[in-house]
Amino acid sequence: MKLVAGVDIGNSTTEVAIADFDDNLKFVVSSMVKTTGIKGTTDNVAGVLIALKEACDSIHMSVDKLHTICINEATPVIGDVAMETITETIITESTMIGHNPDTPGGIGVGIGRTVFLDELEYLHSNDDVICIIPKSVDFETAAKKLNEAFKKNIEITGAVIQGDDGVIISNRLDKKIPIVDEVAYIDKVPIGMLAAVEVAAPGKTIKVLSNPYGLATVFKLSPDETKHIIPISRALIGNRSAVVIRTPEGDVKERVIPAGKLILMGTKQKKVGVEEGSSSIMNSLSEVWPLKDVSGEAGTNVGGMIERVRQVMGELTDQNIENIKIQDILAVDTFIPQKVQGGLAGEFALENAVALAAMVKTSKLPMETIAKKLQAETNVQVLIGGVEANMAVLGALTTPGSDKPLVILDIGGGSTDSAYINKNGEVKSIHHAGAGEMVTMLIKSELGLEDYNLAEDIKKNALAKVESLFNIRYEDGSVCFFQQPLDASLFARNVIVKEDEMLPVPTKHSIEKIRVVRREAKKKVFVTNVIRALKDIAPNNDLRSIDFVVLVGGSALDFEIPEMISDELSHYGVVCGSGNIRGTEGPRNAVATGLVISYYNSLRGKEI
């Protein structure tokens, strides 16, 4: 047996295809593992060895018995090494909280100066006060002291509590007042300052403190001061309860780190402000295309992001930073949760932002280093194959029913690669920044999730609501019943439905909100990049000149993406579907398969 392995090192996965060259080309085994390290670096070798061993073990042979290993040209492009959300950062050092605890007490709006619970017995004034109650005071003691103060005609208009006893204390009071609880950083509340507490009725949201003019009325703010409190009022929108406290004079500071401007260098140079949004950035990109490099204004968020891209790539590829050029960017409008500075319970407000994915071109091929290291580890000849998109075309052509001319869309984790092959076998290909990992980042950021893997699960799986211990309702409205009861901890929770388990989604977002965020993230990245890619490679840049499109890569397995792309391309009369590489692999393994076929053709003197 003369066995040759094709190895596709991707951003997310490393795939292997092994074929026997003895008589005719015959594929015998495939494997796939998670990529180790960033694509195009020597860290990839560990993952390649695991994938090769896994494939060879299944046919009962050792890796060193392979005749040749063909690896993909994983550089000169490396996608999504530094996707960041670039936004204007406004930091207001004021003690203002927007809060939404599960157990507020009472109802209405209370305004007064802040005092500690222990101070109530010493008050004789008729001034309105807001009582501050630390967690060290139990609910019975707190209720007793408040009632005693009421009997002394002390005007307590509201309370702020560190624990979660809002309802319990409210039920024991002789006079109902709005109570906000679960305020973690109660020690940061300034005493003796004007404050307002608002609690809405169940099922409703606050109206006064979420309105900048409402805050201006309560705190007697000037027009200039009203402008500064807009981030606070935005943070409170949709909450059932809130506390806003005026900080001592001189304790309010504001610092602005501008989003900055991108400097796009291509056929000409153009500056575009990030705050103008993604459509303006992408329009400017098309005006200077093809892109040669990108830089950002010094001292701005986007300037820092671009420099970090160069530094990371310089370290990983042992290149001089000056030799690292950004070949493509993808800008997407999004929202990110920004921590409200001065907040007393870790509050966040959604802020408009632009997410950027950058694709980097280096001055030399780090794949040569990877090939040498892999050859030393395996004692097998290692060859660097052709451009990924070209190899993916060869792999895609093994899909039953496919033929030239053909367009492939290889939608991976970091980049969207596309290629067009005409009837004569001539191939035109292009790479664009942004794919699956950027979608995950958008979901993570817009839903305010801490766990990247959770965002990845939301991207890949359908959602459902657990309505009882014996049934769930999927996001599309369909109901599924179970003979055995579900785990009680899932009751009334939104869950991600995987093949063998249900994962609760630890956010207060509705299932509709999570679904909208997931689908919009996919449309912003995948549909945008698909249209860009097809326009770049289509004959005469006309999408209507394309007849057939085959989707390959991990994202083609997604339960929504092929349908989204097919719907979009149907406007242009394009037939689109997921590939089935070699009739067995589905949309996976296209590049690995293409590498083997390319090497086989070169030995036989064949053209594509």
- Asked whether residue 331 is domain-assigned, the answer is yes
CA angle 336, 341, 346 (to 5 degrees): 75
Which CATH number characterizes residue 593's domain? 3.30.420.40
154 found inside a domain: yes
In-domain check, residue 120: yes
User: Is the residue at 260 inside a domain?
Assistant: yes
Closest CA to 533 of 79, 81, 82, 9: 79
pTM confidence score: 0.72
Q: What is the pLDDT of residues 495-524, one digit of tens each?
A: 999 988 899 998 878 899 999 999 999 999
Q: 457 in helix, strand or coil?
A: helix
Q: Verify that 390 and 407 share a domain, yes or no.
A: no
Tokens matching residue 267? 């056929």
Same domain, 42 and 70: yes
371 and 454 inside one domain? no
Q: Please tell me the predicted confidence (pLDDT) of residue 81.
A: 38
Q: What is d(CA 473, CA 475) in angstroms, rounded to the nearest whole number?
A: 7
Within a domain: 454: yes
Q: Cα–Cα distance between 14 and 72 in angstroms, integer?
A: 10
CATH number at residue 179: 3.50.30.70
Model pLDDT, residue 36: 92
pLDDT digits (tens, 9 = 90+) for 435-444: 888 899 899 9
> Do 54 and 154 share a domain, yes or no?
no
Q: Are residues 128 and 226 in the same domain?
A: yes
If asked whether residues 265 and 350 sit together in one domain, one would say yes
Q: Is the pLDDT of residue 79 over 70?
A: no
- Closest CA relative to residue 216, chosen from 452, 468, 208: 208
Residue whose entry in the numeric block shows the structure tokens 């039953």? 400
* Judgement on whether residues 157 and 283 belong to the same structural domain of the protein: no
What's the N-to-C CA distance of the chain in angstroms?
Answer: 24
One domain for residues 197 and 285 = no
Answer yes or no: do 193 and 147 share one domain: yes
- Residue 448 counted as domain residue: yes
Domain count, the chain: 4
Least confident of 152-166, 315-329, 573-587: 315-329
Shared domain check, 68 and 36: yes
Shared domain for 526 and 409, answered yes or no, is: yes
Asked if residues 445 and 337 have their Cβ atoms less than 8 Å apart, the reply is yes
Which residue among 252, 283, 306 closes a domain?
252
Final residue in a domain of this structure, among 206, 233, 252: 252
Which of 252, 280, 303 corresponds to the end of one domain? Answer: 252
Q: For residue 493, tell me if it sits in a domain.
A: no
Q: What is the pLDDT of residue 252?
A: 44
Supply the range of the domain harboring residue 60: 1-75+365-398+584-608
* pLDDT per position as a tens digit, 531-554: 998 888 888 878 888 878 899 988
The verdict on 304 and 447 lying in the same domain is: no
Does the residue 489 lie in any domain?
A: no
